[in-house]
Structure 1
């Protein structure tokens, strides 16, 4: 192996890390020779995983964090971080239980994070208690302070009480982030609910919208908080996020805080988990998804938005069916103002008004001329005839009004080929690719709402990417 080209050794190193989901193989390779140390030592620290099921972080991860804290050159090599934790260990801890150098490090780190502000003494004491207890979240927060060249962050957790403190400090440019902009290379953030908890709070992710380089925020199983838009006091203009992709959002107002914290959004994808008519949650109207209100929040991005995906999770549709459509959903309204929108995927009830409304605006009159691809989901039998007629009208207007439209995808509960015959002919003549597929439900979505907590979680976490 000593004679292998350096590029090939890099491939071996990447493969070794991906296969083992840890750095043990790379560490062993780096000890084989001086050349291997030079090659694999760079890879060894480029991606770090703190990923353990216990409530106490292992001692070797603590030592790694301390090493990175004291060695800035080493810390700059970390480009990807995956941290996952459950609840913090509840056992009492004391300084006498830890090695003196660890206790000294904890005091040094907290001095840098909190400074000498006496008003933060209580918060500092809480952090010290968690660090002494080897709380994975606390140690992950300390590590984040040092990772100035981080590019991609993946976070999975059950409960977060501490990391939000660090992120809020970074967003507000408070100590220890007061000298230089925080995380100047961090481009993508992914977060997901971990273990048996069914959602994470949205506020832990809000801070990322104020970092200088973050472009994409992806999350899975999120509960939107009730804070007012713009509630995070930030006095700078770093708002570069371009893409938001969130699957299974409950308490969904439409991610209004995040929209308010953005300037030039290009991609927005939401998959809503709780229907507004679901009385089980006893949510006030201000905490429920309302398509027209969501549209108003999107209007500042009328010239930048290129992709909009507005779907519903399985649990959302269950309530709709169980209530036998006794409460109509509000339609989104016109999309025409979004003059650069190229791809639209939307629920049929959000696109076309329901029977109880008097708005019968033709489909071609509410879509932008820029549209290239249209996807319509959750098409039920009673919507079928009206929808096919509207899409047919859209296709016939295509050559004059929708010259860029080249794809239409319909996701229906039951496919009626007879009703589609005319539409297929018109699409073929217009050069539009028509795909009609049966709506594929994802059974694991049942597990993402606490009302269904009795069912086991038996699938891997999926992080949506736009």
Structure 2
């Protein structure tokens, strides 16, 4: 008795190792046809494996059609010597995505010498079903320029859709001495199916907006919170304003813009000005609740951008995580310019006040108590968190957030407010995440 193909596929769902899935293809021709789409749906490779994968796709286009999720770990633009790289028949492929003759010649030469970035660009031209990409790399002289041309000119002259189905990109550089310029990655925003953009190691060094297409991007989520490695000297205005309906924005600041050369402090007002273009759609805002908020000492040009603005008209906002001094617009003063009730929208469900210092207790407590007294102003509020800047750790313990504790004095000071929250059905607690100063005991 033969089993239904759906049963075979159900069995394959329990094979988590990709090598096991690929081994199924070797059993017989029927199994090859059944399991190929599943085996190649999600592919992870490192730099030396980009060329073999590209070669396999050229020999069997069904593999390229099957790949929907591609993860490339630590590829680069340096050559991989010692192999015989087959570039026969690729000239026409390069012409589909090339720009000028000189670029094509350089691209072809880089393919012959085994440049992983050059081969990635060729590979992507054959992945008509690709929906998500995770890329960990630095310099990209071929792939990123190709994305730029695709975003500007549609599907180029390729007979297959190139990046037209791409929904999610996760691109990052974990070497602190390397970075992407923000405008290098902007073309991803103008691919037609994009929904989620995640990046690390991105900096804005040009204060101007040179290629803004306001309200045209389909991206719903921008995540620039990875490991606090991004520096938005212009508030990432190009990214934010380009979106038609941005729902989630996460940004964590790193003072370093260019290693050893340029340092830019957090400029909340620039982010606010850009985010105002998304009042109608923004649902979650995590703005530097875990990043650097102090003055680096290297940047004297950002003081005028220390302010913020009201979020009262952000009618879709459900979750807010921000430094309390940013939200209450302390600026360079020790006193707030506004109250929480003035700046929070009635739609809010979750509030995290980050970078709390004990000297701000009276201000914070007064604002929170006033919020409870006028509960009808925030009818949807379900949880409030305080994120202290100073945390306690037992001497000799491993430095990890699971070993951090909130100071006893901080916990005691908020006990009355905690009890008041419980009476009103609101959860209250402390967060131990993000940028902090540790003390030991």
State the TM-score, normalized to the length of structure 2.
0.82
Segments of 5+ residues of structure 1 without an aligned counterpart are 18-23, 444-466
Q: Post-superposition shift, 1:418?
A: 3.3
Which residue is equivalent to 1:20? none
Higher mean displacement: 151-160 or 181-190: 181-190
Partner SS, residue 76 of structure 1: helix
Kindly indicate whether the alpha-carbon contact (under 8 Å) linking 1:86 and 1:159 is maintained by their aligned counterparts in 2: no
Question: Is the Cα contact below 8 Å between 1:77 and 1:149 reproduced in 2?
Answer: yes
Q: Does 1:377 align with 2:361?
A: no
Going from structure 1 to structure 2, the CA distance change for 1:292 and 1:275 (only over 3 Å counts) comes to farther
Match of 2:247 in 1: 266
1-side partners of 2:436 and 2:267: how far apart? 24
C-alpha separation between the residues in 2 aligned to 1:338 and 1:157?
36
Shift of 1:250: 2.0
SS at match of 1:208: helix
**2:70 corresponds to which residue?**
81
Q: Between Structure 1 and Structure 2, which shows a larger proportion of helix residues?
A: 1
Q: Residue 212 of structure 1 contacts residue 238 of structure 1 at CA under 8 Å; is this kept in 2?
A: no
For the pair 1:104 / 2:80, whether they are aligned, the reply is no
1:62 deviates by: 2.4
Cα deviation digits, residues 432-454 of structure 1 (max 9, x gap): 100124455489xxxxxxxxxxx
User: How far apart in 1 are the matches of 2:216 and 2:112?
Assistant: 35
SS of residue in 2 equivalent to 1:427: helix
Of 426, 430, 436 in structure 2, the residue corresponding to residue 436 of structure 1 is: 430
Task: Find the partner of 1:239 among 214, 217, 236.
Answer: 217
**What are the ranges of 5 or more consecutive residues in structure 2 without an aligned counterpart?**
391-406
Higher relative contact order (CA 8 A, sep 6+): 1
Q: CA-to-partner distance for each residue in 1:64-120, whole Å, 9 max, x for gaps?
A: 313424654432211001123343335899xxx846xx2323323223323xx7xx1
1:417: Cα distance to partner? 2.8
Name the structure 2 match of 1:345.
321
* Preserved contact between residue 377 and residue 411 of structure 1 (Cα < 8 Å): yes
Asked if 1 retains the 8 angstrom alpha-carbon contact of 2:266 and 2:293, the reply is no
- In the alignment, which residue of structure 1 is the partner of 2:105? 125
2:116 matches 1:153: no
Partner of 1:201: 181
Matched residue count? 410
Change (3 A) 1:75 1:440: closer
Match of residue 206 from structure 2: 226
Between the aligned partners of 1:430 and 1:340, the Cα distance in structure 2 is 23
Q: What do the CA deviations read for 1:295-331 (whole angstroms, capped 9, x no partner)?
A: 11111211111110111555x25756999xxx79823
Q: CA deviation at 1:199?
A: 3.4
Deviations 1:109-135 (A, max 9, x none): 223323xx7xx1121122112111111
Q: Distance in 2 between matches of 1:176 and 1:129?
A: 22
Q: How large is the Cα RMSD of the aligned pairs?
A: 3.4
SS at match of 1:250: coil
2:306 maps to which of 316, 330, 339: 330
What is the Cα deviation at residue 353 of structure 1? 2.7
Aligned residue among 267, 273, 286 for 1:290? 267
